Chains A and B, each alone.
Chain A
Amino acid sequence: MKRGKICALSCAAALVVIAGCKDAGQSGGKITDDVVRVGVLTDLSGLYSDAGGQGSVVAANMAAEDFGGTVLGKKIDVVSVDHQNKADVAAQKVREWIDRGGVDMITDALNSAVALATSKVVAEKKKILMDTGAASTRLTNEDCTPYTIHHTYDTYALANGTGRAVVKQGGDTWFFLTADYAFGHSLEQDTMNVVRESGGKVLGAVRHPLSASDFSSFLLQAQASKAKIVGLANAGGDTINSIKAANEFGLTKTQNLVGLLVFVNNIHSLGLEATQGMYVTEAWYWDLNDETRKWSRRFFDRTKKMPNMIHAGVYSATTMYLNAVKATGTDDADAVMAWMRANKHNDMFGTDMTLREDGRLVHDMYLFQVKKPSESKGPWDYYHVREKITADHAFQPISLSRCPLISR
């Protein structure tokens, strides 16, 4: 009897070991500190906090919830921090997150200066940055890394969408009002190239400091240039105040304004009266199809505002990352990146999205035109879809990429 008991016990023990091994085989046993941690690095208090901010944190949480809060049986944890739009603050927080906070993937990272600083840190630490907020194409060119994914949009896509469309409509002379930092310069340069390629002419540009308190002087210079189009290569509050002042100084009577990076929330806060007729290029809009509407309603219920493309991008990036962790059974950055490069991605943000060698996620973009007040059915009904720019035309061709990682 005693012998029988021992046998039963050892059999049971063996089974447990085998079962354990099987489980470990599935997951690779490689979820560091037993938590998959997503860090939302965003502006929670400054001029871009409506573009990303709390909305991005909500979007990341929604992605985690849609996974049931766990992946491979391990908890998904979403953490967030305010980068204050300062590259040094961001770099230090990211280091802290990775070294001590156990963060595996960082998302949002709006503000190009912040994104560039973060991408250097993640490359050094072998973690992943899935940037949905920043716009500079440097992230997938000179400053590309094997661990940076530029998810949502970039200045090339914005310039390409809006610039081409406007020149086609007859807006062939341009003057730029540019925010004086990495993002503004990049957007200005990309749009100038597109305008020239499409047969237009660039008459000049003026660079204003970030968060300038008054735009009238700059607009007066734009007015003096007599260009048909005044391109706003800035973002957030700066764009809003430029548009407001342009209306006030009567610039919009003789010239047309083109916002090169305008989010649907900017339209919301400026009102249709001031923005009607403007062309806008975005990767996503809440009212595209049933799936986007359904997701956006959920988002609206929590935040009392509609999501923009950055928020949707954070949801999509987090989902993409969690899918990769699930499929590879590990949170090891190299394995996850390889899986994301090898597979197509589908969610409410886009279909058949592919990840290129330079880190660019390729998907469709849209050219929208802002509705007239009479055409809008109510709050947040702001855009006509004017053109769907298909994935193969939306982004900088990989042949032009200056990313050193590309094998040629």
Chain B
Amino acid sequence: MTEIFGVSIDALFGQLLLGLVNGSFYAILSLGLAVIFGLLNIINFAHGALYMMGAYAAWIALTYFGIGYWPSLLLAPLIVGAFGMVIERALLQWLYKLDHLYGLLLTFGVALIIEGTYRHFFGVSGQPYPVPELLAGSTDLGFMVLPNYRAWVVVASATVCLVTWLVIERTRLGAYLRAGTENPKLVQAFGINVPLMVTLTYGFGVALAAFAGVLAAPVIQVSPLMGSNLIIVVFAVVVIGGMGSILGSIATGLGLGVIEGFTKVFYPEASSTVVFVIMAIVLLVRPAGLFGREK
């Protein structure tokens, strides 16, 4: 069998695929962050907590109301997205004129409150969420056994990412949004309700996080800490991709997932730091990030 640095090609293919699966989560989460930052200029630290809320919404729906995975995939983002809009109207809208730091601190506080509340009611060990029947089982690809559900994660998140990118970059609504960020007063003068648009955008970004949460529920234990384990890496992804760059966040998310996957084979101890090493290098060479534009 062919080997690279003592690791068989088959094993590397397996890791590549797993990297893509993890990268899909990074992509969809960092996409939400990028949308929010790009249009609202808010660094949304509550993103991890909202992702966790999405997973819990699905778990609660299943446990207490018998609502299965597929309806939850739509319901949870709607519910959590609505919750996000409440946060935006009640708290965030007062901070737009201030420095980024205030938004970061506020959302960080919100994240702590949400996590603390869930921890109080559910404990940290978390709850198991079953894989939906349609996707149960696994496929033998020859070089590895891939659970069908993980394949679905890649497909679902790729679709959502693509659609989001198309809407923002290629439609009239997207054009309004981009114009609204550039010069809100002028856009308002054309008769477009900018505050409403901003609220809906935040809601959408949050809904993306919740969607990722539902996707993750069958893969990892649904626990109040699931967001905080992930969010720092996701922020690094956004910074590497370029703050606010939609395409950047998607491409970097997938890319870093793969790099992290390989690190887990060659030097597993570094797998939690490799993303930050890359971040440091990228910031030194291209301070605006790989896909970001210098202002």
Binding site for B on A (CB under 8 A): 45-50, 53, 180, 206-209, 211-214, 216-218, 220-221, 223-224, 236-237, 240-241, 244-245, 248-250, 265-266, 268-271, 274, 305
Contact = CB atoms under 8 A, between A and B. Distances in A.
Nearest to A44: B119
Interface string B9-48: 0010011001101100000000000000000000000000
Given A212-B272, A240-B126, A220 B221 contact: no
Contacts of B125: 50, 236-237, 240, 265-266, 268-269
Interface in B1-15: 8, 11, 14-15
Interface string B208-219: 000000000001
Given A217-B19, A218-B268, A249-B147, 8 more contacts: A49-B119, A50-B124, A209-B271, A214-B220, A248-B149, A269-B127, A270-B128, A274-B128
Q: Give the most central of A245, A268, A274: most B CB within 10 Å.
A: A245
Contacts of B19: 217
Contacts of A250: 138, 145, 147
B220 A45 contact: no
B120 to A, nearest CB: 10
A208 B271 contact: yes
Contacts of A248: 131, 138, 147, 149-150, 219
Cβ-closest 9 pairs across A and B? A209-B272, A217-B264, A269-B125, A50-B125, A213-B229, A248-B147, A216-B18, A250-B145, A49-B124
Given A240-B221, A250-B145, A214 B22 contact: yes
A214 B128 CA distance: 15
Contact of A213 (B124, B150, B233, B265): B233
Contacts of B126: 237, 240, 269
A269 B18 contact: no
18 contacts: A46-B124, A49-B119, A206-B264, A208-B264, A209-B269, A211-B225, A213-B22, A214-B18, A214-B220, A217-B15, A218-B264, A237-B124, A237-B125, A248-B150, A248-B219, A266-B125, A268-B125, A269-B128
Interface residues of B, number: 39
Contact of B268 (A207, A268, A274): A207
Contacts of A53: 124
B221 A45 contact: no
A103 to B, nearest CB: 26
B18 A220 contact: yes
B230 interface: yes
A244 B18 contact: no
A206 B268 contact: yes
A237 B221 contact: yes
A213 B220 contact: yes
B124 A220 contact: no
A221 B265 contact: yes
A213 B144 CA distance: 21
A318 B9 CA distance: 56
Contacts of A209: 269, 271-272
A180 B272 CA distance: 11
Contact of B230 (A208, A213, A266): A213
A265 B160 CA distance: 37
B195 interface: no
B5 to A, nearest CB: 14
A270 B221 CA distance: 8
A211 B229 contact: yes
B54 to A, nearest CB: 15
B225 A237 contact: yes
